[in-house]
Amino acid sequence: MDAPQNRWATLGWSLTVLIVFLAAWEWGPGGLGIPEFVLPPFSSVCLEAVRIWGAEKLLWHSAITATEVVVGFVLGSLLGALIGYALGVSPRVEAILSPYLLALQIAPKVAFAPLFVMWLGYTMYPKILVAVLIVFFPVLINVLSAMRTMDHDMINLARSFSATRMQVFRMVEYPTTLPALFAGLRIASTLAVIGVVVGELVGGNMGLGFLLVFFEGQGNTAGVFVVIAALTAIGILAYYAVVLAERKVLHYLPSAERRIS
């Protein structure tokens, strides 16, 4: 079976699984005698989504959360990559900062959310900071690990041609670590959604996390499912945005396409 046929077969099986899942969700709870306030059928969730779209400004809250996710992801990834490369380039800097970075990694990120809310109020900034903290470490660890396992023969070859330290980094170390960097970005893109939602749950007056708490207080199970679906959609879009960027940047690697497809 050639590649296009294989791709269509995979898509067909994926759609089949989705249809079976939705059918089980629609008729399974009623068949098992599960009350609708515990597990509403899929059709009830769809009807509630239509109501929430207009009555509760679902699109506006989704846009707020998506903005926080994008800003937190970009800032956290940039900070993690910069510090990861700095630690990889300078072992002395790594030795100095490693204990503090380890302590920050061990500290539960969720515990910082109330502190950020007390400092910055009920704004977007606490949610973005929580996302930055959660996104920072996967990118940092992936970049630093790639720098540590660098092929030193390539570095020595570049130095034999009188390459400066910056030229070695730009022409050897940075391109070699790009696959590891994008692997960290993939993980970070989904964690950014978690960080933002945690911040909105702790202290939010807007965003999908706020809607989640609002519907939970009302006992509106269908509304909670709608919010979960919206958060999932944001996470999927963020993930595949990274995948698309990886496809563009790492197009020269034969294994990149196989890994993405």
Would you say residue 253 lies in a domain? yes
CATH number at residue 92: 1.10.3720.10
Would you say residue 230 lies in a domain? yes
Q: What letter would DSSP give residue 124?
A: S
- For residue 32, the model assigns a pLDDT of 86
Can you tell me whether residue 11 is helix, strand or coil?
helix
Tell me the residue range of the domain where 217 lies. 41-260
- For residue 255, the model assigns a pLDDT of 52
Would you say residue 29 lies in a domain? no
Alpha-carbon span 207 to 123, nearest angstrom: 10
- For residue 260, the model assigns a pLDDT of 42
Would you say residue 15 lies in a domain? no
Structural domains counted in the chain? 1
- For residue 208, the model assigns a pLDDT of 92
Would you say residue 155 lies in a domain? yes
The pTM (predicted TM-score) of the whole model is 0.86
The b/e string for 145-170 (b: 16+ C-beta within 10 A; e otherwise) is: ebbeeeeeeebeebeeeebeeeebbe
Nearest 5 degrees, angle CA 74-CA 79-CA 85?
125
Low-confidence spans in the chain with pLDDT less than 50: 256-261
Would you say residue 151 lies in a domain? yes
DSSP H stretches of helix in the chain: 3-31, 42-55, 58-89, 91-106, 112-120, 125-148, 152-160, 165-168, 174-203, 208-218, 221-249, 254-260
Would you say residue 140 lies in a domain? yes
